[in-house]
Structure formats: C-alpha cells, structure tokens
C-alpha cells in the first residue's frame, strides 16, 4: 500500500518520527489481512483479539515530509496461537527505509492466549512467504 508522509508524521527535523513507522506497519498488515478475507473487527465482536507481543524495526534511511511510501507486509509464520509478519517500507525511489517484523498473539478479552481460528490459519498458511 502507499502512504503519504504528512507534516503531522514528522519531527522537528522534518523526518518521520520513528514510532510512526509502527502505525504504517499496522495499516499495511491490516490491509494484507483484509485482502485475505480476514476482517479482525468481525473476530473482535466474537471475543477473538490479536495483540502485538513482539516488534523489531531496523531503520536504514529517513522518510521525509511529502514522501510517498510503499509499505509491503507479508505473513512469515503461523503457529497455533501466534502469527508473524515482515514489513518493508520504501520511498518513491525504491530505497529501503525500514524493515520491520511483528508477532501477534491470538487472545481472549481477559488476556489469555487462545488458538487462532482455523479459517484464519488456513487463509494465512496459503500465503506464507518471506521478504
């Protein structure tokens, strides 16, 4: 997906504030799931939640105000209760700015781990890849 860097995304140096990359990764991950037919809000209504339990980011170069970013997420791993994603963020020139990974845990509203629903596992198992 493409994301435009707005002034509100930047710090006093006119570069993207480091924590905003997590937001970009979240948006990309959500759209990836949506493309696979997985709408997490429907699962939330049934008390099935997903929470980030691990995040790693490698910053290689800054994005700046008004850049158009290409944010690409893929599912890299799925277990009975967790799912992993990798994300690449490039600028409009194709330069890699950020590489990140996150792991989500499936849980109930009380915070206990639970098994990922079979239809989610099946949809994601068919698209496991690495970037």
Catalytic residues: 11
Could you give the angle at the alpha carbon of 86 between the alpha carbons of 21 and 7, nearest 5°? 15
Residue 107 · residue 116 · CB < 8 Å: no
Rounded to 5 degrees, φ, ψ at 5 are: -85, 120
Tokens 């698209």 found at: 127
Nearest to 6 by CA among 59, 57, 60, 69: 69
């Amino acid at each position: 997906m493409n994301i435009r860097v707005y002034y509100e995304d930047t710090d006093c140096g006119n570069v993207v504030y480091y924590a905003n990359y997590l937001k970009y990764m979240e948006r990309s991950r959500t759209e990836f799931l949506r493309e696979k037919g997985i709408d997490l809000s429907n699962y939330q209504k049934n008390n099935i939640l997903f929470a980030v339990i691990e995040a790693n980011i490698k910053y290689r170069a800054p994005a700046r105000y008004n850049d158009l970013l290409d944010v690409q997420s893929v599912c890299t791993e799925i277990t009975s209760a967790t799912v992993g994603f990798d994300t690449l963020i490039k600028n409009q020139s194709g330069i890699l700015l950020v590489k990140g990974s996150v792991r989500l845990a499936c849980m109930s509203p009380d915070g206990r781990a639970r098994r990922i629903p079979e239809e989610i596992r099946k949809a994601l198992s068919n698209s496991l890849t690495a970037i």
